Structure 1
């Protein structure tokens, strides 16, 4: 009985070992198969995986809530100010110094002098954080006459550009990865063209972002400096509407039309004199010659031949 019991125990152990060996072999085969499948799928579906990754990255970027606090918003400041000063040249130099001290620079400088009244038109680019202080300093150069300030909030545009740039960068990287895995000449050419197109789109988006960054970082101020004798050009939008405005507009249109008509007449008159006078002289001479020449009379009939009288 003891021998049989021992034999049964040994047989059970051998059977258990065989079963464990079979299970271990099956798990190893499954593991090998599972390891081989992703490798094949990665080669076959690389482009699809790359596109999906780019889309996921774009979704994650767009899902991040932007910081929309007032001090974090992207705002473009533009302003204009007209100041009447005693010395336009000295005031223009002071305005240049104010812009330089604020960390800005002169965008354009246009001056008119020698006509009895001096004027200067300056375009200043100053940091947005010092926009208000610079405008106040410019107003103290003389007597302020006109001031205008405009703001444009481009925060949403900046956030949209950031998201599009992130997605486009992911698309460029995925195209480059696929390019490194190209196996044929046709695939190589097609992927190179795709990479170039995506890089061009990315460069365009980055250029737009740099443009917005420049406009938001540096504000634009247009400064008009007038001396005491200079007259400021009236704004057409300041004219009151109604009959007087219509009459003024009609009178201006009439003067413009007369100016155009006189210009055309002045351009045509030399040709009329050069061609018309000789033509009139020639026509007059031809008519005089026709009057002196007598008209030709009708032709006389020929006499009939004489006939012999039969009686004679």
Structure 2
């Protein structure tokens, strides 16, 4: 009976060395980089990592003051859906003075800058922040690891099909299951990166016209210092009253016990004081005996 070799270190090494990484960076706007990465894995040179072929995650935040928060929110949703995106989150608060809406918007990466400009025109822009995260190297590394892991899974399946004993069958099934789980994890990471690079995220905050800027709300100067000091004083008084309220139930019984102890202590000192003053109950010493006089 022919024995099927188990998957050990040498078998894994052969699996890894026999596979060349292929694929490209994730994201719809980076699809052309796949051929360059495949050439790199096959020994055709370093991958093409020009700016227009890099995998970049764009994230933006914006705060805009508008006359009508609800109308501006509807206009923002229309702008994003018209650009091929969608609304990932929508939180609104109604009210005449404190109306507010916070929208999480997902837009295609190539429309990111244009959508930001359109959203800024909804009212008076108070704050804008854009952050980029270059994940090109991570994407290329994931492509290579996925290709290698797929080859290892295929090799394990071929050995499993040739198994002739129960021991080999059980061992190979466990090894193949472990390799498939590792492959699924790598592919999930790749899908996550593909989603983040293909669709950028914009967090839009819409406030009423009377809402001040974030910088004004945390301003400096005498009035700002006075307001901060008053808030600190109120907070300190609240803490002191809280502590006093917690201690008071224990303070009253403790005061009663201390008063009783002081009263008993005073009573214990009365006999000693009376003895010192010659009062009732005091013990008097006998008078001294006069010395005998000698005869003249």
| Same structural fold, with TM-score higher than 0.5 when normalized by the shorter chain | yes
**Residue aligning to 1:19:** none
Deviations 1:161-210 (A, max 9, x none): 11110000000111111122223333222222211221111111101100
Instruction: Report whether the alignment pairs 1:224 with 2:199.
Output: no
Q: Specify the alignment match of 1:27 in structure 2.
A: none
The reply to whether residue 234 of structure 1 matches residue 215 of structure 2 is yes
TM-score, normalised by the number of residues in structure 2 = 0.70
Question: C-alpha separation between the residues in 1 aligned to 2:7 and 2:264?
Answer: 101
1:61-110 deviations in whole A, cap 9, x for unaligned? 52355443444332211112222211111111111111111121112223
Q: Could you tell me how far apart the structure 1 residues matched to 2:248 and 2:7 are?
A: 84
- Describe the shift of the 1:231–1:151 C-alpha distance in structure 2 as closer, same or farther (beyond 3 A): same
Q: Does residue 275 of the first structure (1) align with residue 256 of the second (2)? A: no
CA contact (8 A) 1:158 1:212 kept: yes
The 1:178/1:259 distance shift into structure 2, 3 A limit, reads: farther
Structure 1 pair 74–286 and aligned structure 2 pair: CA distance change class (3 A)? closer
How many Å separate the matches in 2 of 1:190 and 1:45? 8
Equivalent of residue 240 in structure 2, options 265, 286, 311: 265
Question: Does residue 126 of the first structure (1) align with residue 107 of the second (2)?
Answer: yes
Residue 14 of structure 2 is matched in structure 1 by: 52
Q: Paired residue for 2:183? A: 202
State whether residues 179 and 188 of structure 1, in contact with CA within 8 Å, keep that contact through their aligned partners in structure 2.
yes
Matched, 1:295 2:271: yes
Q: Segments of 4+ in structure 1 off by > 6 A?
A: 42-47, 251-256, 296-300
Q: What's 1:284 paired with? A: 259
Change (3 A) 1:235 1:55: farther
**Counterparts of 1:53 and 1:276 in 2: how far apart (Å)?**
78
Kindly state the Cα deviation for residue 148 of structure 1 after the two structures are TM-superposed.
2.3
Conserved? CA contact 1:119–1:230, under 8 Å = no
Query: Counterparts of 1:70-81 in structure 2 under 5 Å?
Result: 70-81=51-62
The whole-number CA distance in structure 1 between the counterparts of 2:130 and 2:5 is 59
What TM-score, normalized by structure 1, do the two folds share? 0.67
Please list every run of 5 or more consecutive structure 2 residues that lacks an aligned counterpart in the other structure: 23-37, 276-280, 284-296
Q: Structure 1: how far apart are the matches of 2:248 and 2:161? A: 80
Kindly provide the CA deviation profile for residues 202-249 of structure 1, in whole angstroms up to 9, marking residues without a partner as x.
11110110010000111011112222210232399x999xxx9xxx99
Between Structure 1 and Structure 2, which shows a larger proportion of helix residues? 1
Q: Distance in 2 between matches of 1:184 and 1:295?
A: 105
Task: Give aligned pairs, total.
Answer: 252
- For residues 118-197 of structure 1, the aligned pairs below 5 Å read 118-197=99-178
Q: CA RMSD in A?
A: 3.7
Q: Greater CA radius of gyration, 1 or 2?
A: 1
Query: 1:54-93 alignment to 2 at 5 Å?
Result: 54-58=16-20, 62-63=41-42, 64=44, 66-93=47-74
Residues 27-78 of structure 1 deviation map (CA, whole Å, 9 limit, x = unaligned) = xxxxxxxxxxxxx9x9669986785254221368523554434443322111
Q: SS at 1:58's partner residue?
A: coil
User: Secondary structure at 1:183's aligned position in 2?
Assistant: coil
Q: Cα–Cα, structure 1 residues 116 and 44, in superposed 2: closer, same or farther, change >3 Å?
A: closer
